[in-house]
Structure 1
Amino acid sequence: MVLDYKKIMAMLPHRYPFLLVDRILSVEPGKRIVGLKNVTINEPFFQGHFPGHPIMPGVLIIEAMAQVGGVYAVVSDEVGEDKVTYFVGIDKAKFRRPVVPGDSLRLELEMVGVRRGIYTFAGKALVDGKVVAEAELKATFVDREG
């Protein structure tokens, strides 16, 4: 299953400049999801992080992983599109190397489990097959307002 940005936008409330997933490359309901973020020099965060030495902030790499997890929950029929994702925990986060303009960030999340409405994912971000960041993400889903 491949999803483009239009389908992703139908599932997530995020919009420019905070939508950090360009495409979903594959989904295995109950198991894993793989997303893609193409990092360009036009990203608004590069203006201040850092002038003359652009590096994607680690927290935004984690956020991109979380957005892929939100798509997973909708596509897997775990939650409806009327829900919004709330982070409840980030554990074991590690940043292995900088992500720079021109990188294609492959975001791989494996479903670890669900307990009392808390979903746990093991996430990795890769560039050219090398891990650049990893974390264990925990999220819950609440009703959208409005």
Structure 2
Amino acid sequence: MSSVNKGLKAIALLEATKGVISVLVVFGLHKLAGQDIQMVVEELLRHSHLNPANHLVQEVMTQAGKVTEANINLVIAGALLYAGVRFIEAYGLWHSLVWTEWFALLSGGIYLPFEAYELFAKPNLVTAAVLMINLVVVGYMYRVIKHKPHPKS
């Protein structure tokens, strides 16, 4: 297996993992439907002995508070759509489909300005790690696409 294929498979696994996490969120939201999700998440975080002053913990609690009985189906549909896109991208990268290489480059590149802003606005290790991973993925996909042999005209 070539190093390009290994790299594409590694990115495919990353994308599939994002899809799995999104599906787990859907199952969690479905199970919590009708409950005060923010209160359940706060209790879970307290039970986990996580520092409530941590930026990431606060962000999770804030986002949980935005999910209400009125919008939970929309949130679930969005998470399922996101998971579907991640699984399709993972499949395409695993099988070296050219269009998914472009899709991975563009979809990763779209997030870069937001991740960079977030790092400067609220610097923390998780934000820095997410930005670095995305920079590696986007840079790698650019390199793969740039070095593909072009068909002769």
Judge same fold: TM > 0.5, yes or no: no
Query: Structure 1 or 2: larger strand share?
Result: 1
Band the TM-score falls in, shorter-chain normalisation: under 0.3
**Structure (1 or 2) with the greater helix fraction:** 2
Q: TM-score, normalised by structure 1?
A: 0.23
Give the structure with higher Rg (CA).
2
Greater length-normalized contact order (CA 8 Å, ≥ 6 residues apart): 2
